[in-house]
Amino acid sequence: MAKPTPTWTVSRASTFADSPARQTARPVLDIPRNSPHHTSCRDFIEQRGSPNLHSPGGSCGQSRPSSNGVSPVSGHSPSSFHLEDDGITIYTAIDRGYTAAEEIYGSNGTLDSTNDSVVPQGPDPDPGLHSASESNLGELIRSSLEKYPKKWLPIDRLFALVNPVHVRQELSQTYSSQKLSPADVERYTKMVCSHKSYDDENTKRKLKSSCRCIFAILALMNRLNDAPAFLESELSDRDLPLRAMKNPATQRYEFYSHGRSIGPLPTADVWHSAMFDTFMLYQSYMLSPFFDLKSKNDVPFHDLGDDVALPFIEDYFSERRQQGHHGTVWRVKIHPGHHNFPTDNEQENPYFAVKELTSGDSGGTDFIQEVTAWAKSVGVAGHRHIIRLLATWRQTSRQKDSWYLLFLWANGNLRDYWYKHTEPQRDLLLVTWIGDQCLGLAEGLKKIHRAASNDDNIENYGIHGDIKPENILWYKDEDDNYDNLVVCDFGFTRFHSRRSRSTARPEGISPTYRAPEYDTTLKQTPHISRAYDIWALACVYLEFITWYITGPEGVRDTFTTKRTNQDKGELVPGDKFFNCVSLDGENNFGAIVKPCVLKASLHSPT
């Protein structure tokens, strides 16, 4: 019995953004679960929108606007994205990566669970950083904020500043003239700094949270006298971002988190409306994600509001360039405290590539397509010649949702490699490297073309659809001088069943590398198969050999010019590798390889 193919739809769930003060609904990916017998990604992608927000009075509460009519923190629902295929898992990082960060920075003081006391590990985690006579915690946090592209607090500074030593000192000073026993100080210090474990219902992962962010926000507001009220409410950083909504029944503002009312805090009755605005502004400083990049098989997805600052300390967005038909790519450097990408040199902080999908599809269809195609292609074993996806995210604004992919920054693409190496060293070492790379790219393409099932209806046969030098990235290893080429850009990759793999509709073409069947069936319905990719890869191989023999000029000028001069049947001559010919004088077409391709020079002109 054939297994059903899932349908992917985009729907909108009611969120905080649906309140009267902010009528900007944000789309969520509504992808239903299929048969329980299915285990691949197309059968296990699931999206759950956040519950509708209702105030205690039974109707949607009124959101507290900022002074300019816009809530300082955008509406943001705890939506989830989950995908599994051949051991590759793409999961929603509902903790914003805090759990991974805590493993690195959580040793800035520990809590003794046997007696609930704070036990500093050695000296003050940041000696000389905190002194009541010099500065308070709020000022220290403020001086540690990054200013680009908007204010945000690096998570390593959060752990360094909001540590047991400092928290105990702040609480003792704040309540020096009030009744707060040493035991209460120790108890609240533990509530702030100790991690609280909870389960991610979608991934079954054990996650951690604390109250460091909430404490930091109150310190910035100079409202640490309200810390006990927040802590006793059992709030934690996992509840951020909080929203201030007016309760119609009481006409008082209350905090809401992920669609549920926290209820009036014991001190909230003395908070005027501007204080709610200030809290929401300062909490935006705490929401920058930590990118957990150490696992090759687990890829985080972050769902971010437009107020969230990405933790980039270098951003070359102005130098972005087109990649594929619906993506732009630029180079960034992530704050070293906001990722754990493994490197041979612990002091090294590599550059990464951000790809923004620019098709105008804010509903995420292109995003799901590209991410799913990558996951199905790379599989659990990975592949040296298929690019590794590191992280993904969506960022919401009033105008649209933007979708992003994160990769390690490459030295360039294959064409860049040819043009950079103007005088190839024609020796055995280079010939061997070219052969190894061509074999590796073919094996990577074979992995995309895989046939992992005998079921004719299972869509396991991939077609990349856009093989060309620009979609083959070049990574240079500075240590062993061994370069590596990888297939990238899965925006047009589609997977098909055994029955449909030879009648696939083309999603996009590169005019130079398109295969003959695209043109010969154009008068009818254009169909492509996996042979389409093989033709394109063979064209790339021929250019690779041309570069080796004649250098980049031979690829860029001589060979391209010859193909263009021999082009037939086009209004504007092109540099494709074949010409179409009529078989019967009507609409039946065939193709012949251009003479210059058949007779390409196989020896150096010198």
d(CA 153, CA 144): 7
Among 157, 123, 156, 152, which Cα is nearest to 140's? 157
Say if CB 88 and CB 299 are below 8 A apart.
yes
d(CA 138, CA 238): 21
d(CA 473, CA 470): 7
d(CA 504, CA 519): 14
d(CA 167, CA 181): 15
How distant, in Å, are the alpha carbons of 262, 407, 506, 519 from that of 502? 56, 31, 11, 16
Say how many CA atoms lie within 13 Å of 146 toward its Cβ: 27
Say if CB 18 and CB 43 are below 8 A apart.
no
Q: What residues of the chain score a pLDDT lower than 70?
A: 1-87, 108-135, 177-178, 259-261, 263-264, 266-269, 322-326, 359-363, 373-381, 451-461, 478-481, 490-508, 522-528, 601-606
DSSP 8-state code for residue 296 = S
Cβ neighbors of 341 (< 8 A, separation 6 or more) are 291, 293, 294, 350, 352, 390, 408
End-to-end CA distance of the chain: 64
DSSP H or E segment with residue 279: helix 273-283
Say if CB 564 and CB 576 are below 8 A apart.
no
Backbone dihedral angles phi then psi of residue 593, each to the nearest 5 degrees: -70, 140
Query: How many C-beta atoms surround the C-beta of residue 182 within 10 A?
Result: 10
d(CA 215, CA 227): 7
Say if CB 103 and CB 69 are below 8 A apart.
no
d(CA 86, CA 447): 12
Cβ neighbors of 265 (< 8 A, separation 6 or more) are 226, 229, 230, 233, 255
pLDDT of residue 90: 81
Write down the domain spans for the chain. Answer: 9-286, 298-408, 412-598
**In terms of DSSP bridges, do strands 260-261 and 252-257 run parallel, antiparallel, or are they unpaired?**
antiparallel
pTM as predicted: 0.77
Q: Residue 70: is it exposed, middle or buried by C-beta count within 10 angstroms (0-12/13-18/19+)?
A: middle
d(CA 282, CA 274): 12
320-350 core/surface letters (b: 16 or more CB in 10 A; e: else): beebbebbebbbbbbbbbbbbbeeeeeeebe
256-283 core/surface letters (b: 16 or more CB in 10 A; e: else): bbbbebbebbeebeebeeebbbbbbbbb
Does the domain at 412-598 match CATH 1.10.510? Answer given as: yes
Backbone dihedral angles phi then psi of residue 226, each to the nearest 5 degrees: -95, 0
Tokens representing 444 are: 């990577």
The CATH architecture of the domain made up of 298-408 is 2-Layer Sandwich (3.30)
Say if CB 603 and CB 541 are below 8 A apart.
no
Say if CB 246 and CB 61 are below 8 A apart.
yes
Rg (C-alpha) for the chain, rounded Å, is: 29
Instruction: Give me the long-range contacts of 597-606 (CB less than 8 A, separation at least 24).
Output: 597/542, 597/563, 600/542, 600/545, 600/546, 600/559, 601/546, 601/549, 601/550, 601/554, 602/545, 602/549, 603/549, 604/426, 604/549, 604/550, 605/550
Tens digits of residue pLDDT in 412-438: 999 999 999 999 999 999 999 999 999
Question: Measured over all CA atoms, what is the biggest interatomic distance in the chain, rounded to whole angstroms?
Answer: 100
pLDDT of residue 245: 81
d(CA 334, CA 353): 10
Q: Give the 3-state secondary structure of 34-66.
A: CCCCCCCHHHCCECCCCCCCCCCCCCCCEECCC
Identity of the residue numbered 166: H
